[in-house]
Amino acid sequence: MDRQFIVAAAQMGPIAKEEPRRSCVARLIAMLREAHSRGAKLVVFPELALTTFFPRWMIEDPEELAAWFETEIPGPATQPLFAAAADLGVGFYLGYAERIEEDGQARHFNTSILVGPDGKILGKYRKVHLPGHDAAQPGRAFQHLEKRYFEPGNLGFPVFEGFGGRIGMMICNDRRWPEAYRVMGLQGVDLIALGYNTPIEHTGHGDIDGLTQFHNHLSMQAGAYQNATWIVGTAKCGREEGSMMVGQSAIIAPSGEIIAMAATLEDEVITARVDLDMGTRYRETIFDFARHREPGSYNLIVNRKGAGDPI
C-alpha cells in the first residue's frame, strides 16, 4: 500500500506579548493555505503557537497567568483554524497551553493535538519533560518557568492511527530524551510531529556553547534514526520579546537525514514528500527491536530517576 504524502512544517517567527490569538490564528491559516497549495496533507505548527513564550517571565498575577491558557479547543479564537483545515482537507499538529478543571481543581499542561483532515481531533499529548525551574532564578535576563506553570504530562507518549500510518507527538524538550522516542518506537510510530520554542540562552548563563542549533538537530536526527521514524520539527523562532530562539525547522527521514530545513527566522513553510514505508528497511534489519533489544538489561532506565551508584 502506498503510504506516501506531503507533510509541512509551518515555522512561526516571534509572537509579541500583546499579539492577540486571532492574529496568531490568521498567521497559522495563511501557512496552512500555503502548505495546502503545495499538496500537504499534514501541517506541523510549533509549541505554544497561540501566544508568546510566557514561561520566560515570572507572572505573579493569577489572572494574568490564566489568560495565556486555552480552556477549550477549538474555542472562539481557534475555530477558524479548524474550519479552514476541514475546508481544505488538511490535518495539523498544534501546540498550546491547556487549562482543564478536574475534581474542582485547575490543572495546566503544555499540550499538543493532532487534528485529522476532517477537522476532528485525533489525539492529544501533554509535554512530559518540562525544562527549567519552578521558581524564578536570580540574575537571569529571561526565566524558564515551565515547571512552575505546567504539570508533567499525564498521557504518556501515545501513537495515533492517521494519515495512513501511526503518528506520535512530542513537545520541545521531549526531543532531548531518548526514552520519549523509544516508547513511540515500541508502538511502531511512523512519523513524530514536534513543535519547539528553544531560547539560545536557556541556562541563564548566556549561550554556553554556541551549539543550540547543532543540538536541536542532533537530538531529532538521532531519535529518527534509532527508531526508524520520520520527524517533523517545527520552531517558533527569532527574537521574541528580546529572547532569541532557534529556527531551522526540519523534516527528518528515518535515515536521520534532514531532507528539508527552514532558512529564515520568520513564518516559513517547508514541505517534503514522506514515504512512511521508508522506516521499514531499518525496522527489519538494524533496528528490528524484537530481535535485537534486551529489555532485561535496561531496568535502570525505568527504575532510576537520577544518576546514582554503579549497580
Residue 243 near ligand ING by CB under 6 A: no
Task: For residue 288, give the C-alpha cell.
Answer: 528490528
Angle of helix 79-88 versus helix 21-37 axis, rounded to 10: 10
Of the pair 161, 207, the CB lying nearest ligand ING is at: 207
- Residue 194 interacts with ligand ING (CB under 6 A)? no
Report the 3 state secondary structure along 200-234: CCCCCCCCCCCCHHHHHHHHHHHHHHHCCCEEEEE
CB of 283 vs ligand ING, minimal distance in Å: 27
Q: Is 69 or 282 the residue whose CB approaches ligand ING more closely?
A: 69
Nearer to ligand ING, 32 or 231 (CB): 231
* Least distance between ligand ING and beta carbon 244 (Å): 11
Active site residue 172: yes
Q: Which three cell numbers stand for residue 290?
A: 524484537
d(CA 123, CA 125): 7
Catalytic annotation, pick one of 24, 41, 98, 127: 127
| Binding residues with ligand ING: total (CB under 6 A) | 10
Q: Applying CB under 6 A, which of residues 11, 212, 221, 249 lies at the interface with ligand ING?
A: 212
Q: Interface with ligand ING includes 202 (CB under 6 A)?
A: yes
**List 47, 70, 98, 268, catalytic entry:** 47
Interface of this chain with ligand ING, residues 72 to 111, rule: CB under 6 A: none
> Is residue 236 annotated as a catalytic residue, yes or no?
no
Does 143 participate in binding ligand ING (rule CB under 6 A)? no
Does residue 140 sit in helix, strand or coil? coil
- Reported in sequence order, the residue ranges of the chain that DSSP labels E, i.e. its strands, are 4-11, 40-44, 91-102, 105-115, 121-126, 159-162, 165-171, 191-197, 230-236, 238-240, 243-245, 250-252, 258-261, 268-275
Dihedral of alpha carbons 213, 216, 219, 224, sign = negative
Binding site residues, ligand ING, CB under 6 A: 131, 172-173, 176, 196-199, 202, 212
What residues are labeled active site? Answer: 47, 127, 172
